[in-house]
A = this chain, B = another copy of it.
Amino acid sequence: MTTITATISQTIIERFKQIRTQTEKICSPLEPEDTVVQPMIDVSPPKWHMAHTTWFFEQFVLGPYLKNYKVFHPNYAYLFNSYYNSVGNRVQRAERSTLTRPPLRDVYAYRRHVNEKMGELLLTVSDDQLEELLPVLELGLQHEQQHQELLITDIKYILSTNPLLPAYAEASTALSSKYPGKPKFLEVPGGIYRIGFQGEGFCFDNELGVHEVLLADFSVMNRLVTNAEYLEFMQDGGYSDFRFWLDEGLAMVRNNNLKAPLYWLEQDGDWYQYTLQGLEKLDLHKPVSHISFYEAQAYAAWSGKRLLTEFEWEATTQVYQPKAGNFQESGIYEPTVATQSLGMQQLYGDAWEWTYSAYHPYPGFSTAAGALGEYNGKFMINQMVLRGGSCATPERHIRTTYRNFFHPDKRWQFTGIRLAQ
């Protein structure tokens, strides 16, 4: 190993350690029982997340690259594969709560084992192999960061279904929040914009296929929509007035008798919100979150505005604001109040912004060969693109070209609204 690759390895090892440790830090307040249940199919048990991210390194890095590597347990590939058909059979998504065993301590042992072996690999790998495995390793780290965000939102959902509504973290000393002032619409000039990832560093395959799009002039709200603003929509009968809704959104709202965002609770005329700090009185100035695309779109229709497309959103970042915001690292795990600045705010962090763009391939998109080709492409139907990251996203994970995607009815992520006109 040359000095240069040794330095690279050292940096990678640091980064590997930091990300792996962070995952365990997120899980540390949990009881073993919290880590095994699956109250809805979208949610995975935290124990599963911890093991699955570990399996990813075992399957795609240690197996192929560490000489004589023996898997920690012969059944774990079956237990902790998520959706890679190429890699063989697996426990079905809906049955992840059957994994009462291995117990939590075994999963921690699995993590330690893989961490050690990864360290061993990185200290002994040849230059050529390092070059070959680095992209897969990087994908593994990005993958684990994605699961960190899912861990936070899945833990929130799991605890919220418990009748005791337990807190995950100490109650934050509530900052007295301040009205951020009326929103302002900032202009983005029409023209040809370059969309997609270019340059150095990591990106997912769904950001590739750089291409130009032609946009007309538009203007963008300088912050996210607040709880107060959303409450106005509710109080104006927004949830029952069919005129604002897409037909399938209306059906969802009616069939489930929805009247407010997920985690909102009305008690004696006051609104409360379940947060990872427990049940709290609704902070009117915070950005609204935990809403579906349908609710975002209905709010936009009610307000006489519209949502952005993902191309408009990306163009906006080219005109305004560099990456900065309230991310996972703040440990707040809730969107925070915007400032009274008239400039562009909250494009990153706080809450993912629903766009009115379907999650489809960019021109020239092609899936990689082999198992990792199943990473993104096969989900490109019936989902909507979200942009900008949230309070649960690691800061170093997000990019201006990053495309997140969920079905339009999902509400358990930190999802919010920005308007255009």
| Interface residue? A242 (CB, 8 A) | yes
A162–B103 Cα distance when bound, in Å, is 12
Q: Tell me whether B242 and A214 are in contact (CB under 8 A).
A: no
Secondary structure call for the A interface: mixed
In the A-B complex, the 7 residue pairs with the smallest Cβ-Cβ separation, listed nearest first, are: A358-B358, A32-B32, A33-B36, A33-B100, A85-B242, A31-B103, A214-B214
A102–B243 Cα distance when bound, in Å, is 31
With a cutoff of 8 Å between Cβ atoms, the chain B residues found around residue A214 in the complex are 192, 212-214
| Interface residue? A175 (CB, 8 A) | no
| Interface residue? A417 (CB, 8 A) | no
1/0 per position for A158-190, CB-CB distance to B under 8 A? 110111101000000000000000000000000
A4–B367 Cα distance when bound, in Å, is 61
A91–B75 Cα distance when bound, in Å, is 35
With a cutoff of 8 Å between Cβ atoms, the chain B residues found around residue A246 in the complex are 378-381
With a cutoff of 8 Å between Cβ atoms, the chain B residues found around residue A216 in the complex are 211, 363
| Interface residue? A330 (CB, 8 A) | no
A33-B164 in contact given A216-B211, A246-B380, A248-B382 (Cβ < 8 Å): no
Q: Point out the residue from B166, B213, B381 that lies within 8 Å of A408, measured CB to CB.
A: B381
With a cutoff of 8 Å between Cβ atoms, the chain B residues found around residue A242 in the complex are 85-86
A67–B344 Cα distance when bound, in Å, is 57
With a cutoff of 8 Å between Cβ atoms, the chain B residues found around residue A78 in the complex are 163
Within 8 A of B (CB), among A391-421: 408
| Interface residue? A387 (CB, 8 A) | no
A212–B192 Cα distance when bound, in Å, is 11
Within 8 A of B (CB), among A339-378: 356-358, 360-361, 363, 373, 378
What are 5 A-to-B residue pairs whose CB atoms are below 8 Å?
A: A31-B32, A33-B47, A33-B104, A78-B163, A357-B360
| Interface residue? A148 (CB, 8 A) | no
Within 8 A of B (CB), among A58-100: 75, 78-79, 83, 85-86, 91, 95, 97-100
With a cutoff of 8 Å between Cβ atoms, the chain B residues found around residue A33 in the complex are 32-33, 35-36, 47, 99-101, 103-104
Within 8 A of B (CB), among A254-290: none
A36–B47 Cα distance when bound, in Å, is 14
Within 8 A of B (CB), among A208-262: 211-214, 216, 242-243, 245-250
A373–B247 Cα distance when bound, in Å, is 12
A216–B211 Cα distance when bound, in Å, is 9
| Interface residue? A207 (CB, 8 A) | no
Known: A95-B161, A358-B360. 20 other contacts (CB 8 A): A31-B100, A32-B33, A33-B33, A34-B100, A37-B97, A37-B98, A39-B97, A85-B243, A98-B162, A100-B159, A101-B162, A102-B164, A211-B216, A213-B214, A246-B379, A247-B378, A250-B378, A293-B381, A356-B360, A356-B361
